[in-house]
């Protein structure tokens, strides 16, 4: 079966699209995390590569999720 797209549109504010081959990293997820920070009490911080011990830095990433209400 073939589906034909007749119309296109821009993504809505709460829609995020990625290629199945996209890497999970700061560049590819910035808009998603900024949106989540606006609508939740969460803050997202990428952990610097130098803090990732024993990892292949070109293949590894670290993400820290912080509850804004628990930050002093």
pLDDT tens, the chain, 72 aa long? 888 989 999 989 988 888 888 877 888 889 999 999 999 999 999 888 778 776 565 667 788 999 998 865
Residues 6+ apart with CB under 8 A from 69: 41
Residues 6+ apart with CB under 8 A from 47: 61, 62, 63, 64
- Domain locations in the chain? 26-70
CB of 22 within 8 A of CB of 7? no
Tokens 């998603």 locate to: 32
């Amino acid at each position: 079966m073939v589906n034909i797209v007749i119309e296109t549109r821009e993504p809505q504010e709460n829609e995020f699209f990625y290629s199945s081959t996209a890497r999970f990293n700061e560049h590819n997820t910035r808009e998603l995390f900024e949106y989540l920070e606006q609508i939740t009490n969460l803050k997202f911080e990428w952990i610097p590569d130098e803090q990732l011990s024993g990892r292949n830095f070109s293949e590894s990433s670290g993400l820290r999720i912080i509850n804004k209400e628990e930050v002093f």
